């Protein structure tokens, strides 16, 4: 009977809406973009659009803040597409894409969890971020990263169980002078 109690523990999932179901799909989509050739219309067909909830529009000043140019030889060392974008001034804009999927599943002893003595949570998922820079209607630079596989295990212990935060709920009455 007690082994079945673990099924009563809460589960949750958190994801940011995107056209991709995995890190690999997101990576493949960004790698299909050809700097200098791919247009904004083609990006929209792939589901990469400023109207998506996971896409942040970047203006020229946002981009300049991401790429400080204060070291000697910086322009020579940078990617050609990035250099073109920075030289284009206000004609340069971009997209910052952030996608995350996280699943949290409570595991362990049901009674210890329910009474708040010990809560264990397994966390799995992935995260992906990408930067696309455009000049006028054409992508000139892409960069991506993230965490292909997220695996974590959280343990929260409360030696007093349900009484652990009891003192927070009992406050002395406010004194009005």
By CB atoms closer than 10 A (0-12, 13-18, 19+), residue 21 is exposed
In the chain (177 residues long), the average pLDDT of successive 10-residue segments reads: 59 68 93 94 87 88 83 72 90 93 87 83 92 95 94 84 67 66
What does DSSP say about strands 55-58 and 138-157: parallel, antiparallel, or unpaired? unpaired
- pLDDT 10s digits, 60-95: 999 988 887 765 566 777 889 998 998 899 999 999
Closest of 9, 13, 7 to residue 124, by C-alpha: 13
Q: Measured between alpha carbons, how far is 138 from 115 in angstroms, rounded to an integer?
A: 57
Q: Measured between alpha carbons, how far is 71 from 65 in angstroms, rounded to an integer?
A: 14
Indicate the pTM of the whole model. 0.74
């Amino acid at each position: 009977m007690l082994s079945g109690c673990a099924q009563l523990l809460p589960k949750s999932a958190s994801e940011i809406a995107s056209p991709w179901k995995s890190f690999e799909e997101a990576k493949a989509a960004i790698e299909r973009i050809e700097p200098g050739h791919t247009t904004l219309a083609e990006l929209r067909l792939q589901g990469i659009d400023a109207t998506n909830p996971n896409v942040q529009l970047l203006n020229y000043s946002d981009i300049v803040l991401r790429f400080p140019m204060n070291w000697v030889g910086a322009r020579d060392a940078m990617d050609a597409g990035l250099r073109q974008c920075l030289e284009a001034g206000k004609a340069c804009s971009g997209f910052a894409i952030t996608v995350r999927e996280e699943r949290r599943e409570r595991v362990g002893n049901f009674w210890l969890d329910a009474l708040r003595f010990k809560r264990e949570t397994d966390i799995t998922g992935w995260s992906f971020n990408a930067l696309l820079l455009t000049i006028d209607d054409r992508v000139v630079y892409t960069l991506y990263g993230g965490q292909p596989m997220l695996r974590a295990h959280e343990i929260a212990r409360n030696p007093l169980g349900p009484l652990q935060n009891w003192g927070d709920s009992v406050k002395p009455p406010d004194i009005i002078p």
